[in-house]
Structure 1
Amino acid sequence: MEDAREVMDLRATYEFLHRHEWIFNFAVTDFFTLKVWDYIPTEWRNSLESLSNAELNQVPFGFIKENWPESLKNFITMATNCSSPRKQICLFNPAVVSNTMKKGMNPKKIHEVSNMAAVIHEMCREHGVKVVIDIGSGLGYLGQVLSATYGYRVIGFESIASRSHGASKRNVKQSKQNKPHRTQNQGNDGNGGKSVNVDIEAEELSSLMETVTLELEDTKQCRQELTKLLYEHCLSEKEQLELKEGSKGLDDLRRMSDPARKVNSSNVECSMEQSVDQSNIDALSDTVSNSTPLSQSKHEIAQSITASKSDHLSQTVPMPNSTPVCMVGLHCCGDLTPTMLRLMRDLDVIQCLVCVSCCYHRMKEQSNKSIVNFPISKTVSETIRTSKVPDWSLTRFAMRLAAQETKARWQHQSAEEHDLHMKHVAYRGLVELYMEKEGTVLKKCHRKPAKKEHYGSFDAYVHGILERSTIEGKPLSEVEKDHHSANLKKLYVENEENFKYIEPITALQVVLQPVLETLITLDRMIFLRENGISAEIKPIFDEYVSPRNLALLANKT
């Protein structure tokens, strides 16, 4: 549980975001329809309008001018203080990725995989874990590096069958190309500064990595299916043989994990049922994770039952003591991270976690537009309840900003790049304003409404978008194009004076981006701590290369 000072900081951060929601709580295409510039405090306007390009780029880094109004200075200072550090912490040397392994990976992916693999290796080494489950494993890049470089057994779980199949094919191909080899990880990897050498035959390398098609969801059925798959794929051949020879074989285990089997007193409802009701989410946070097996031996696997403070019961099926696993995820999208955190709380087999999240805006919404899985911790929930704005909540717009690029790339934007961004926002916003005024829907018939060359001028943009759009499923006639073109150009003239606010407001969004992402990640870290799990947040990537660089590291000590 966080101490009172940290809770007060959370409350201050939440109220700070509420006061400045005008900066982010809108769709970028609604810039003109909502007249966002009208919400800029009067005393801020001159300061923001007079910024040079170099000054604009430094605003997210705490840049303040002496003659600025105190309210603007306080905004910059508060945002800076409420943001987690993003500079990469190089705790370990990145894993060495062979040229063969690099095939199919771009430089960003290589950077992520090599650094995350090193962090996972240290976590597993420290806690005696030899099996890694990779959630959302995709084509298996991370898992293949973990198995080839460090010798871990890796089971990838991927929801898209084509990716699972692709990962399996890639694994077989990589194994053949890496015929008997010695992998080596140089430098300080936690083994007293010694190098790690792993001799792996091609056949062994292939067997170390496999991918299973499974969509991880917050449901009882999914939890039971995952438990079954962990038994089937994590146990060594020796352990599986012992189970088959013992009083409880794998057939018994499959029946015990069967989602269709009848629920009784020894098979209570799991706490993973999904609900959009906030009270249910809070109840989930009350579940106690410290479960104790009733009995367990080489020939017997028993169930254990954990009672929460709210009398909510959850079933755990403990794995053999010799087979703890590390659950990892690189770019866990939307609700996937909260699902993983609840699985770690509820499944004894999951000893540690390394998770990098992304796409917060893809989390499910409730009917009131608040986010189902934010907050998930009791601490943040209570902080919001006792704040000055208990009925206000972060929306999808806030989550989208949290998932945007960080200030690292913003500081290098040239005047030309700022001008192009301004045109993107302005031109799209004017079309949205026009459709609202006219009651007309221009539906794009291409993935992008306009090509890059169309942003040279508004005339070119209008021509391009009218050529690539339809109304009620029909292409526009020349007469219709002329009509819409003339009206759009008129709107341009009427609103051109407000273009100057686009980049300053974008700069303010960049200032708030790390505040929002920090709040989301802190909520998740606190959730684990509330359930007796040691957790911390570390920036493990270079944020310029990979903006989503905050990793949630956790273990059951």
Structure 2
Amino acid sequence: MTELSTYLRKAADILYDYEWVYNFRATHILVNNILSHIPEVWIQAFLGLSDDDLTLLTNGIVKDSWPKCLAEFAYRCNELMLPQAGMESFSQNKGWDYIPAEIRKGMSPKKQHEVLHLTSFIYHQCCEGNLSRILDLGSGLGYLGKLLHHRSGYRVLGLEANIGCVGKAASMQQPICSSGVKHVALTLRPAHSEEEWRTTVDQVTSVLEDLGNWQGKCSCGSVPPESEATESVSQSEQDFAEPVCMVSLHSCGDLSPTALRLFLELPQATRLVVMSCCFHKMKTALPGGSRAEQGTTTVEDEAGDGEADVDVDDEVFPDFPMSSELKRVVGSRRSFLRRPLLRLASELTIEMWRLMTESQRCEHSLYVLGRAVFELYGMKEHYKLKKVRRRGARKTKRSNFEGYLEDALHRFKFVPLCTQPTCLSPGCSNFNSRGRSPTSEDHRISEEDSSRPFASSPTTLRSKATCSRRSKSFSRRHTNPCSPSHDIPFIDEDDCEGSRETVVSPDDDPGPCSPINAGAAPVGDVASPQTDPVCLDQTPLEVHRAKLKALMDEQCTPETVRLTTALYAMQACIQAIAEGLVIADRLAFLLERGGPTIEASLVRVFDRSLSPRSLAIVANKGRKQGSPSWEFGRQ
């Protein structure tokens, strides 16, 4: 654990020192005047850097003319990257170099890359452990299980919370093999309460011990007839405990911590291969012990963006940190262990950022600022914005501010902020709220600050000793929910198969009968005629357009766009460290709880330029604990 502890300490230090780079909600980049927290000497340097210079920064290469504190940031980020074990040659196993057409149907190139490489690695693990049964958690549409059974003849049992995915996976599997892969609808609840956790363990144990889930004649011929002949209902009681390899591709949100705990608790699970993703979708523990489920709209989700409105000081994740070691390392410095860190850990990798063209980076900055202008407009004009589409603007409308404005105007509703803390008018911004006043301090900035595209305030950090820490005013301003917007187009959330909500394509019109539009009022109106008139927005769309256009012209200057691009370049530099902290924390938890009989490590399975979440947590029971292979630099 010595090297692992060293990595956790170094990662926590750099993420704490530079939390001003990422610890904010992206839609509030103008509301909270985030760009003013870039040190003045950095601002001067960034405004003179070319796009190639920013790429040099992400490679840890600095110029002599750059400020020393900026060079120190680049050096520290370059020194400490994801902990990684060397890539093995398992992907070259004979017969694992392609996916048959009948299994490949419906898979994107990225999904094909992931399924091909992960099934090859799982086969490698099962051969070492002499295993022939696979338990697939969050199995989604069953792509992983289909290829594993087809290539190896393994029996696969997939557990999936989304009953629609279970039905579709079964129908897709039927023409290929009627019994080699089984799918069961089961919600794996995390260990946030003892009662729910015992229920989860009992349910998983039950499906594992149900021989019907592992028997049946293989119709595709992948399982040899002699193997099938040995399977019968008269098997001995020992067969109930036949070992399994527990796997999970796109182990989203709380599913990954749940998989680790199940592996430790279930005696049948002797091997583990888990690919974590979407860390920002983990559930939070709210004051009073209640929980807010991320990814779904709840009473607490007043913004309508799928994230619960929890004050940053109250936001606690039961499954982060997981390890005692990280808790010890962090101590009282917990201000950076918030959802923005988890969202940063879920973003595209630095390799993907380098592959972006200059126009793509600029387009991304335009999109971020366009969305931020709408948020600033809502603050200044006392509106709460509610999206009526999944995205704030279509991808085809993000190349300039004018196109974004016209498209976004029809994708948001402007809900006037009511002065009553708990208004009873349907459609009001405070209807059925938790009683928090819309004029609370967490949504307030001065008119002077809100009018500046960026600023060199007295609180700007200037010296080498202070460039890595944010000012006190930054902390005070961020009492609002500290979660970057779902609109940032960096995260490929659609790759998460398991337990996801049905969504409408951002480029399609859902239509008036869609659940997303059912009962929705037209733009400029927010409620039915029964709504209290004080809560109705009678403002014509043309007025919103004119005011937003003026605000965009004021805020979105070329300098602001350039600094926004530089800010996201800095986030790209630090992204791998954020991801490494979360993954290393889970590995430390596994080693702490498993004791000397658990061997665990991290293995890079995917190409990071193709699939951003490329690290697998790999573990096995019954062997002497070894030391993971670590490298504290870029490969």
**TM-score bracket, shorter-length normalisation:** 0.7 to 0.9
Q: Deviations over 1:49-73 (max 9, x none)?
A: 2221122123222222222222222
Deviation at 1:474, TM superposition (A): 4.2
1:208 shift after superposition: 1.7
2:148 aligns with: 146
Shift of 1:8: 4.0
- Closer, same or farther in 2 for the Cα pair 1:371/1:534, shift >3 Å? same
Counterpart for residue 546 of structure 2: 486
Distance 1:138 1:9 in 2: 33
Shift of 1:498: 2.2
Q: Secondary structure at the match of 2:149?
A: helix
Residues 470 and 529 of structure 1, relative CA distance in 2, 3 Å threshold? closer
Tell me the SS of whatever aligns to 1:328: strand
1:20 pairs with 2:55:
no
Matched, 1:344 2:406: no
Secondary structure in structure 2 of the residue aligned to 1:89: coil
Q: Is the 8 A contact 1:88 1:543 kept in 2?
A: no
**SS of the residue 2:257 aligns to:** helix
CA distance in 1, matches of 2:72, 2:84: 21
Q: Quickly say closer, same or farther: Cα 1:86–1:59, change in 2 above 3 A.
A: farther
Equivalent residue in structure 1 for 2:344, among 401, 405, 409: 401
Question: 2:83·2:580 contact (CA, 8 Å) conserved in 1?
Answer: no
Contact 1:466 1:476 in 2 (8 A): no
Task: Tell me, yes or no, if structure 1 residue 555 matches structure 2 residue 620.
Answer: yes
Shift in CA distance, 133/549, structure 1 to aligned 2, threshold 3 Å: same
Per-residue deviation, 1:486: 2.3
Please give the residue correspondences for 1:515-534 in structure 2 after superposition, counting only pairs within 5 Å: 515-530=577-592, 531-532=594-595, 533-534=598-599
State the identity %. 32
User: Could you tell me how far 1:412 is from its partner in structure 2?
Assistant: 2.0
Whole-angstrom CA distance in 1 between matches of 2:186 and 2:232: 22
Post-superposition shift, 1:383? 1.7
Q: Deviations over 1:11-52 (max 9, x none)?
A: 232122112111111121111111111111223222222221
- Secondary structure at the residue paired with 2:389? coil
Aligned residue number for residue 437 of structure 1: 380
Pairing 1:163–2:211 present: no
Cα offset for 1:90? 4.5
Does the Cα contact within 8 Å between 2:19 and 2:336 map onto a contact in 1?
Answer: no
Q: Is the 8 A contact 2:275 2:614 kept in 1?
A: yes
In 2, the alpha carbon distance for the partners of 1:235 and 1:141 equals 18
2:155/2:214 contact within 8 Å kept: no
Residues 349/411 of structure 1: CA separation in 2 closer, same or farther (3 Å cut): same
Quote how far apart the aligned CAs of 1:479 are. 6.4
- Cα separation, 2, equivalents of 1:453 and 1:156: 38
Greater RCO (CA < 8 Å, at least 6 residues apart): 2
Mean Cα displacement is larger for which, 325-334 or 216-225?
216-225
Cα distance, 1:480 vs structure 2: 2.1
Number of matched residues?
Answer: 449
Separation in structure 2 between the aligned mates of residue 76 and residue 435 of structure 1, nearest angstrom: 36
2:113 aligned partner, one-letter code: H
Verify the 8 A CA contact 1:87 1:543 in the aligned structure 2. no
Q: CA–CA distance in 1 between the matches of 2:137 and 2:180?
A: 16
Q: Distance in 1 between matches of 2:326 and 2:102?
A: 46
Distance in structure 2 (CA, Å) of the matches to 1:105 and 1:492: 40
Partner of 2:233: 241
Equivalent residues of 1:129, 1:324 under 8 A apart: yes
Task: Look up the match of 1:118.
Answer: 120
Could you tell me whether the CA contact under 8 Å between 1:88 and 1:542 is conserved in 2? no
Could you tell me how far apart the structure 2 residues matched to 1:439 and 1:332 are?
A: 39
What residue is the counterpart of 1:106 in the other structure? 108
Matches for 1:204-215 after TM superposition, within 5 Å? 206-215=178-187
Q: Is the 8 A contact 1:370 1:396 kept in 2?
A: no
Of the structure 1 ranges 476-485 and 40-49, higher mean CA displacement relative to structure 2 is found in 476-485
Candidates 451, 475, 478, aligned match of 2:523: 475
Q: Distance in 1 between matches of 2:382 and 2:334?
A: 33
CA RMSD of aligned residues (A): 2.3
Compute the displacement of 1:224 (Å). Answer: 0.2
CA distance in 1, matches of 2:590, 2:10: 22
Partner of 2:453: none
How far off is 1:227 after superposition? 0.2
Q: State the distance in 2 between where 1:97 and 1:455 align.
A: 36
In 2, Cα distance between equivalents of 1:320 and 1:231: 5
**Which residue matches 2:330?**
384
Partner amino acid, structure 1, of 2:34: V
Uncovered stretches (5+) of structure 2, i.e. residues with no partner: 191-196, 217-229, 287-313, 416-520, 526-537, 624-635
The 5 Å alignment of 1:77-92 reads: 77-84=75-82, 89-92=87-90
Paired letter, 2:353: W
Greater Cα shift, 344-353 or 445-454: 445-454
Counterparts of 1:152-191 in structure 2 under 5 Å?
152-175=154-177
Residues 294-326 of structure 1 deviation map (CA, whole Å, 9 limit, x = unaligned): xxxx45x7xxxxxxxxxxxxxxxxx656x1100
Q: Does 1:538 align with 2:603?
A: yes
Q: Secondary structure at the match of 1:513?
A: helix
TM-score, with length taken from structure 2: 0.67
Query: Which residue is 1:231 aligned to?
Result: 209
Once the two structures are superposed, residues 327-351 of structure 1 have per-residue CA deviations (whole angstroms, 9 ceiling, x without a partner) of: 0000000000100101111111100
Whole-angstrom distance in 1 between the partners of 2:231 and 2:153: 19
Match of 1:410 in 2: 353
Letter in 1 for 2:180: L
Change (3 A) 1:103 1:455: closer
